[in-house]
Structure 1
């Protein structure tokens, strides 16, 4: 989650919990408080260069994925209210984005998307391929805060892996899902020997991470709760 801190340009919104099964009445659905980026530093450039429709689609992608990252799912009605437009327009935007290969996770569509590679992994892959933060933000519709968070998570996984931690240990120490840790490890294996990615990995590995022995010893100390 984004935690308690709310960043500039963000709002607090109550969305349906991603754990809620389909078919339940709205009044029975558990909700979660999430932070959504209503305005990002790159929005003005998208508006001036690509127009209002492109900006709205960027916001649809950004908000839907931010909600999912925090354990929530927006509905098409939520997005319509947030973006001051109609549900029909949102539905059309989502359809057009899907035709471009971009899936928008909403309460009505998530089950249809299936277990493909996560949006986090796709963004990290772009960074490893040489794209800069601003390029990634423009191409994916994700906010700078989200992009930085995904790259930070990937970097942590790489540092633990380079020091001999197993997938299970990394999952417990990072509180990530098995699936996401495995995707990050697969990316690491794919890109670690590519010349164009060496500078990226040098940046990652230059930051310190506790050795396996010291970290596991700390976890076993009296009064320390293991994950």
Structure 2
């Protein structure tokens, strides 16, 4: 499609208006709630994501490997007719090429599929939905019996996959990320953790980094919601990680690891804050 000068000018003006509104919203949050400019920008970005505007408009919201799926609301009781159940539109990381390929090479295709099952089930749960075994079978192009066998294998490893059937029958359980953080607190290194839980090293390192950021930001803000917004995770994840941190703080054997966690979180936060203040757009009037 050939764009005329008038059309290009209109697009340019629209972008300027959006930037002006973003700046106004950021300033309102900064001066109205006593948040720092960095925190205000995070809130604005999350608002854009929630309302699917700006960079998060439909068509741009999905990252490579992600997909949109419709699942049952996690509060729907068992036995209720499907047509009467509340549904949620959720985003799932169907494929994470680097992590999934890493597990497939080091272990096998079954381990890769189990990683995908656990990852998507947890993502759904964090979006207040629960996938069924039928959902997972459809997404992964396999049969329900295979999914059921994979879930049983994960349970033997101490991992409880939060699917609809599992959650309603046995309640919440331990996920890969919780198991990884628990082992990290026990002085295990990422490579060893990945080997123990048959998970990708990339994913394990991401869990640990996120955990450290949550701990540091919570110490700084004393607010679970604000911590979740700044780190970019769900409040459920923040609560889970803080619970693990609290338990570890009560055990003197974890003292050195706790100090390391807070140091790593501080480095990340200062790095991001520096980029916000001194990035390529700093000092530029919008």
TM (norm. structure 2) is: 0.57
Give 2:265's aligned residue: 204
Equivalent runs, 1:63-212 vs 2, <5 Å: 63-116=120-173, 120-128=177-185, 129-132=187-190, 136=194, 139=197, 141=199, 148=206, 151-152=209-210, 155-161=213-219, 165=222, 170-171=223-224, 173-174=226-227, 176=235, 180=240, 181-190=242-251, 194-206=255-267, 207=269
Give 2:75's aligned residue: 19
Task: Please give the secondary structure, in 1, of the residue aligned with 2:145.
Answer: helix
Could you say if the C-alpha distance between residues 108 and 33 of structure 1 is closer, same or farther in structure 2, counting changes exceeding 3 Å?
same
Q: Which has the larger radius of gyration?
A: 2
Question: What value does the CA root-mean-square deviation take over the aligned residues?
Answer: 3.6
Return the offset for 1:203. Answer: 1.6
For 1:105 and 1:26, locate their aligned partners in 2 and report how far apart those are by CA, in whole Å. Answer: 19
| Structure 2 unaligned regions, length at least 5 | 1-45, 51-55, 229-234, 271-286
For 2:191 and 2:260, locate their aligned partners in 1 and report how far apart those are by CA, in whole Å. Answer: 15
Return the offset for 1:23. Answer: 1.4
Task: Please give the secondary structure, in 2, of the residue aligned with 1:109.
Answer: helix
Task: Please give the secondary structure, in 2, of the residue aligned with 1:77.
Answer: helix
Return the offset for 1:106. Answer: 0.5
For 1:106 and 1:49, locate their aligned partners in 2 and report how far apart those are by CA, in whole Å. Answer: 26
Greater mean deviation of Cα atoms: 141-150 or 183-192: 141-150
> After superposition, what is the alpha-carbon deviation per residue over 1:69-102, rounded to whole angstroms, capped at 9, x for unaligned?
2211110000110111111111111122212221
Task: Please give the secondary structure, in 1, of the residue aligned with 2:88.
Answer: strand
Q: Is the 1:158–1:185 contact (alpha carbons within 8 Å) kept by the matching residues of 2?
A: no
Q: Which has the higher contact order (CA 8 A, sep 6+)?
A: 1
For 1:20 and 1:147, locate their aligned partners in 2 and report how far apart those are by CA, in whole Å. Answer: 34
Q: Is the 2:218–2:227 contact (alpha carbons within 8 Å) kept by the matching residues of 1?
A: no
The answer to which structure has the higher helix fraction is 2
Greater mean deviation of Cα atoms: 37-46 or 195-204: 195-204
Give 2:63's aligned residue: 7
> After superposition, what is the alpha-carbon deviation per residue over 1:111-159, rounded to whole angstroms, capped at 9, x for unaligned?
3333555655433334443533895599365896797478536633444
For 2:200 and 2:82, locate their aligned partners in 1 and report how far apart those are by CA, in whole Å. Answer: 28
Could you say if the C-alpha distance between residues 152 and 54 of structure 1 is closer, same or farther in structure 2, counting changes exceeding 3 Å?
closer
Aligned length: 203
For 1:66 and 1:145, locate their aligned partners in 2 and report how far apart those are by CA, in whole Å. Answer: 14
Task: Please give the secondary structure, in 2, of the residue aligned with 1:42.
Answer: helix
Could you say if the C-alpha distance between residues 137 and 205 of structure 1 is closer, same or farther in structure 2, counting changes exceeding 3 Å?
farther
For 1:6 and 1:31, locate their aligned partners in 2 and report how far apart those are by CA, in whole Å. Answer: 20
